[in-house]
Chain A
């Protein structure tokens, strides 16, 4: 079955960097767009970034543009989120999510499934 497992979260000081990973299995990773979504404590879902299946197109929420970089390694089925210049407002559970249908399908942009999430806390 499809599995998405995030890692790399933790406590980090404001202004520092952190890299999250999402290890996947159970599907052909290179055929699917992948997303990061975050949820601040007690708040709603916020879409963060998407990377297309071939890695050549990436889009970001305005709140993270210029500070976060999404990437992927199709050789080992792993998605990444490099986060720089972290702020207190970046504190959240970060989920990776797989697009429900592969690159040959249209439309395809809804998410299924989601990983369990990894908590990032930005605090001094």
Chain B
């Protein structure tokens, strides 16, 4: 089971934003983060808990290992409005977190 917090978040442009994902068991660093903008297909942001996918802006970063992980946006931009999901891939089931909906204040 993967538990994300918060479930929703409102922040101002330029703010530093952090989303947390907790695994129910040790998944080492087998964790990915995806961004899903409204009406769009999910897009890979980070894998291996902290490796930024090619083409993803450097304001996104990931951290953690074991059971506790974070996704951080260093300076929130309007185009970052989306729902963010963590996912474990340490073995089936490849469970997703319930999502964190990020809005601009």
Contact = CB atoms under 8 A, between A and B. Distances in A.
Interface of A: 35, 37, 44-47, 50, 59-62, 95, 100, 107, 109-117
Given A44-B85, A59-B92, A111 B44 contact: yes
Contact of A100 (B44, B92, B97): B44
Size bracket, chain B contacts:
20 to 34
A44 B96 contact: yes
B47 A100 contact: yes
Contact of A44 (B41, B43, B47, B98): B98
Contacts of B95: 47
B93 A107 contact: no
A107 B96 contact: no
B92 A114 contact: no
B93 to A, nearest CB: 6
A121 to B, nearest CB: 17
A112 B41 CA distance: 11
B55 to A, nearest CB: 11
9 contacts: A35-B94, A44-B97, A47-B96, A50-B92, A60-B92, A107-B30, A110-B87, A111-B32, A111-B34
